[in-house]
Amino acid sequence: MQLDAFLKKLDHGRIVEAIRSAEALSRGEIRIHVSHRAVDDAQAAAAREFEKLGMTATKERNGVLLYVAPKVRRFAVIGDIGIHDKGGRDVWPRVAALLEAAFREGRYTDGLVEAVAQTGDLLAQHFPRTSGADVNELPNQISEDR
């Protein structure tokens, strides 16, 4: 899919609100990144972007990145070590399956919103919001590379 067409189909406001709502339930951080590049290995590209976005700098190492490369119709879900220590790496295939099903139907915003909600539920289970104020350590906006 052409990148511009993909981006135009996204309801950015709805996605950002989903991130905000999901993060309100936990101490975790969720980001979405859309790549303009034709990547061969989405998982490796997501890992590189995870580092570039500073997602390893969260206090509890509990960030999750949903990485989408529409040009080559690939995506990846990657979490930091803190979430892996508690939830294991095998939780991401469920989030990926949800994204894949929605994307196949052309429901890009719905897929991302649903994946964010599912990720938020997982983060809330392992990193529940505490009585103290939580700091939003990473921006909720969708990032893009050029």
Residues 18-66: tens digit of each pLDDT: 999 999 999 999 999 999 999 999 999 999 999 999 999 999 999 999 9
- CB 19 within 8 Å of CB 116: yes
In the chain, count of helices (H) and strands (E)?
A: 6, 4
The model carries a pTM of: 0.93
Mean pLDDT score of the chain: 91
- CB 112 within 8 Å of CB 32: yes
| CA separation for the pair 28, 119 (Å, rounded) | 9
Give the percent of the chain with pLDDT over 70: 95
* 88 or 127, higher pLDDT: 127
Q: Which residue has the tokens 């690939």?
A: 74
Mean pLDDT of 7-16: 92
Mean pLDDT of 66-88: 89
CB-hemisphere CA count at 13 Å for 53?
32
Q: What pLDDT shows up at residue 4?
A: 76
Mean pLDDT of 92-107: 91
Mean pLDDT of 75-86: 90
